[in-house]
Structures are given as structure tokens and as C-alpha cells.
Structure 1
Amino acid sequence: MDYLVYYGMTHNPFDKTAPKVIETVDYKELNVRLKYLTDVLGIGLVTGRPGAGKTVILREYARRLNTNQYRVVYLPLSTVSVSDFYNQLAVSIGIEPAFRKSAKFRQIQERILELYDVEHVTPVFILDEAQYLSGLIYNELVLLTNFGMDAENKCIVILAGLPQLTQMLQRPQFEAFRQRITVKYQVMGLEYVEVHDYVREKLKTAGILDEVINEDALKTIYSATGGSIRRLDQMITKCLIIGAQEETQQIGNEVVHKASAEVALG
């Protein structure tokens, strides 16, 4: 039986495409810092384990920005050269990159100035998987965000990556970059005390007000997923599918153990 039909759900609220973002502790804490960054501009550093929820929070932050005042550019980068980095950056803000690196640099800075000073639009660059960027690119970011002899900010740059990014930036060669970081935050994922409200609020958006998953099952799910929102969503979706197949009105540990085994195999 289809689990949406069985549980009377309008949609799967645990799917990554679900529109509702639950305001967890991480969501609230990071948004305070992002609000400050939006006000003063500059560089932000956001780290977290895979699945902790940093990309979801950043996507929601970008969605809420006024498109008449901000131009959001999302770049999921990996191991690119400085030249490739400049090419991607140039294209993302609507310019044809020049051949020489120095010319690309000048093009990008001039375009950022044009957006900010003339069009009154603040560029917001979100660079994902930043732990893979080479050290040379961090040096270029220091230069690229230097306006008015380093007295003015004209854009927002948010670097998102795994926790090792913070460790990498502690190296002496990144001292100049570290000094330019305006805000930083490490997304920790869900604490157990948040799980019940998270699941309840998610289910409520799909039209479910009853306790579909009992407390013991939630404890087991949390233990198996370790605070990862992505893994929690996957596990609960699998529990709902198995629960519907077995016509279980309220999901308990027996269903959770089966779901855990299937998720592990997947």
C-alpha cells in the first residue's frame, strides 16, 4: 500500500524537495549570523558534517533575500584551478571571461563594483564544498574582496564545507584570509531534544497530527542517525514505507530495525 495514502499524508515532508524548513537550533543560530553578514557584508564561513543541514539553511537564506537587492550565485566547487575558478565566477555574474588571469580579476572586480554601486544590487557568492579549494584560491579571494584599499565591502562570500575546512584555515598561510572572516558557524545537526518537535512539525505540514512514530522508536532512529538531518529524513521515510506495507498505525522499534537494515544496504 502507498504510504502517503495509508497515513493520509498530502506529501512526504521528509523529502529534500519538501518546502517547509524546520527552525532548529542550528537554523536559528546560523540565521542570526547570516543576518549580521547581510548587514555588514564580507566573508562568512559555515561548516558541518555531511547531512547536518548547512546547505538546507543556506538555501533557505538565499531564497528569502530580496531579488531586487541581492544577486545570489551558488557555486558547488571542487578541485578547480584559479583560472577555472575565475571563469566560473565571471560567467555566474554575466561576463565573458578574458584569457589572462589578471584581466579576469579586473573584470570580476569591476562587475561587482557595477552591481553594488550602480545597480544597487549586492552580489552573494555561496561557494559549496570549499574544503576542496586550493590554497591559492583563498589568496585570490582576499584580493578579490579588497575594495577601497580594504576599507569597503561590496559583496558577500559564504564558504560552506566540512569541519576540516576550519582546521585547514588554521594554517599560517591562511592568516590573511582568516582575518577577513566576518562570521563563522559550525552546524552540529539535531540534538535528541529537538527530534520530537522536528518530526511532529514535519508531519504536521503533511496533514498528520497524530503520533505516527512512538517515543522509543524516535530514540532508536536518533541513535542510528547520529544527529544527521539527511539520514534522519531517509530513515523516517523508510519507516513510513515499511509501516504502510505492514499496516502499522504507529511505528515502533520493530519497523525501525527493518528500516535501518534497508537504509544500510542502500
Structure 2
Amino acid sequence: MEYNPFLKNSKEVLVETAQYREALFRLSYLEKTKGFGLLTGGPGRGKTTALRGWAASLNPSLYKVVYSCLSTLTVTDFYRSLTEALGGQPSFRKPDNFRSIQEEIKRLSLEKKKTPVIIIDEANYVSNGILNDLKLLFNFEMDSKDRAVILLCGLGQLNNTLRLSVHEPLRQRLVMNFHMEGMTKEEGREYIRTKLHGAGCSHTVFEDAAVEAILNASDGTPRMVNRLCSQSLLCAEAKRRDLVDADAAMQAINDCELG
């Protein structure tokens, strides 16, 4: 291998699973319709990978992407951060920032002919105060126009939060809602093969029994597959083995569980 394709900081080898393709399809629909969207999934299921792929596909002359993962901000700090990200001058007063955000969105949409795409990642940690304000913040012309794409992305409990009666007005405004599941066993095998091939590896590295053990332990979660494969390679190398066998995979699984 030219490098370890399972490490986070190595060159990314994109594997398009069925869930990844479906997420891109849903996001493309949101891109065209505008309004509020919701993308959820368990930890490591590929939400951020899908977001990166989708955001990279947007024409910068037609869309302005604003990404935020600072989901534990106070309401005031959220307003200030969003105002600045949209190109406005943040103020210390919430009403001033409210007006600035709406003015910047109108300016981008009507004058620049650009659609603002606002991605709020880790949104399961967003306070109720911010969620309550979102429907007001993006209300244009008596709620008759959608001037921006607003995507909330987070863990599955975000769906539970939005089912609360206090958030019913926001939930009713969702035009896209998709929950990402894990990979199937066959997708997991193809995922490992594609990663290895992308790193220039053409020979067998993992024995079938090792792959089976890794997929069982990972529950179809890409991040866990990466972690277990990388740890398995280390275990096999430490034992000076040319192949990752079931013993090396089980040792890696135990190591990761302890970690």
C-alpha cells in the first residue's frame, strides 16, 4: 500500500454506499426546493462525508455555503456567528443581528442571485432557544418565500427533539428528512476492497475471516470499519504477518473496545 487508507488524515478514498447515494439524492432535492432539511444518523455513519461531497458539488457562483459545527453556542453568539459568516457586520444586540441576517440573505438571493446554504452540524446539541428562532429567522415575506437552504445535521436524537410539541412549527417546515443507516455486509466488504485499491494495493491483505469479524464488530459503521482495519494492520505488522488473519482482527477489536 502507498498509505493507510483507513486513517482519517490520509488521502480520502470515497466509497459510494447506497446510503451515501440516497443522502446525496435527498440533499440535491433540498438544494432545488430550498427551505429546511434534516440529516441524521448514528456516530460515524457518514453524515459529514455526505455533506462534504454535496457541498463540494455546489456551484460557488450560485450558492454560498456557510458551515457551522459550533452547536453549543448561546442564541446571541449563534446570531453573531451567522451574521459574520454571511458577510454582515455582527452587533451585540440580537434584534440588530436578526435584521442583518435577513438583509444579507435577501442581498445574496435577490442581488447576487446566490442561494445561501446554511449547514448546522452537530445540531443535536443546539439549544431549544436557537431551534425556536430558526423558523422566525428564515421567515421571508410572511412565510411565502424560501430564500435559503437550512440543513440541520446530527445524531438520531435530533429527530426526537423535533417531535416535541414546542418544535412542531419547525418540524412542519422540513422539506427533507433522511436518517443514514449502516452498511450491509456486502457493502462493508466492497468498502474495504475499494479503500485498499485506492491506496494502490492489488493483493489480498485481509483474510475472509478477519473481514467477517471486523464487519460484525463495526455494525456497518464506516468510522468503526476504518478504525478496526487500521488497528488490525498494526496488530498483523507487530506479529510480522503478511496477512491480517482472524486473530489479528480479534486483537484489534479487543484493543478498540478497551480504547
Partner of 1:21: 14
- Which residue of the partner structure matches residue 169 of structure 2? 176
The 2-side partners of 1:243 and 1:68 are apart by 49
Deviation at 1:199, TM superposition (A): 0.6
CA distance in 2, matches of 1:42, 1:215: 46
Q: 1:72, 1:125 within 8 Å by CA — same for their partners in 2?
A: yes
Aligned residue among 29, 53, 60 for 2:53: 60
Structure-2 separation of matches of 1:131 and 1:39? 25
Structure showing greater relative contact order (alpha-carbon pairs closer than 8 Å, 6 or more residues apart): 1
CA distance in 2, matches of 1:129, 1:104: 23
Aligned counterparts of 2:19 and 2:151: Cα–Cα separation in 1 = 16
Which residue is 1:98 aligned to? 91
Q: Is the 8 A contact 1:200 1:209 kept in 2?
A: no
2:232 aligned with 1:239, yes or no? yes
What is the TM-score with the length of structure 1 in the denominator? Answer: 0.92
Q: CA shift at 1:103, angstroms?
A: 1.2
The yes-or-no answer on 1:42 pairing with 2:28 is no
CA–CA distance in 1 between the matches of 2:43 and 2:93? Answer: 36
Any idea what SS the aligned residue of 1:230 has?
A: helix
Q: Is the 8 A contact 2:80 2:92 kept in 1?
A: no
- 1:137-176 → structure 2 map (5 Å cutoff): 137-176=130-169
Q: For 2:3 and 2:53, how far apart are their aligned partners in 1?
A: 20
- In structure 2, how many angstroms separate the alpha carbons of the residues matched to 1:42 and 1:188? 24
State the one-letter code of the partner of 1:125: I
Percent identical pairs in the alignment equals 38
Question: Aligned pair 1:11/2:28, yes or no?
Answer: no
RMSD: 1.4
Secondary structure of 1:137's counterpart equals: helix
Q: Does 1:125 align with 2:118?
A: yes
Q: 2:214·2:228 contact (CA, 8 Å) conserved in 1?
A: yes
Amino acid paired to 1:161:
G
What displacement does 1:14 show? 1.4
Do 2:183 and 2:222's aligned partners in 1 also have CA atoms closer than 8 Å? yes
Unpaired stretches in structure 1, ≥5 consecutive residues: 1-8
Separation of aligned partners in 1, 2:243 and 2:141: 62
Distance 1:32 1:259 in 2: 35
**C-alpha distance in 2 between matches for 1:29 and 1:66:** 20
Deviation at 1:135, TM superposition (A): 1.6
Deviation of residue 100 (structure 1)? 1.8
Tell me how many residue pairs correspond in the alignment: 258
Separation (CA, whole Å) in 2 of partners of 1:196 and 1:22: 11
- Residue 221 of structure 1 contacts residue 235 of structure 1 at CA under 8 Å; is this kept in 2? yes
Helix, strand or coil at the partner of 1:140: helix
Deviation at 1:174, TM superposition (A): 0.9
2:33 aligned partner, one-letter code: V
Question: How far did 1:264 drift?
Answer: 2.5
Listed one character per residue, the Cα deviations across residues 34-56 of structure 1 (whole Å, up to 9, x for unaligned) are 11111111111011111111111
Q: TM-score, normalised by structure 2?
A: 0.95
Q: Alpha-carbon deviation of 1:78?
A: 2.9
Asked whether the equivalents of residues 77 and 132 of structure 1 are also in contact (C-alpha less than 8 Å), the reply is no
> What is the Cα deviation at residue 126 of structure 1?
0.9
The letter of the residue matching 1:162 is: L
Give 1:14's aligned amino acid: F
Instruction: Pick one of 183, 186, 190 that aligns with 2:183.
Output: 190
Indicate if the aligned counterparts of 2:117 and 2:149 stay in contact, CA closer than 8 A. yes
1:265 aligns with 2:258: yes
8 Å contact kept, 1:47–1:185: yes
Which consecutive unaligned segments of at least 5 residues does structure 2 have?
none
Shift of 1:205: 0.5
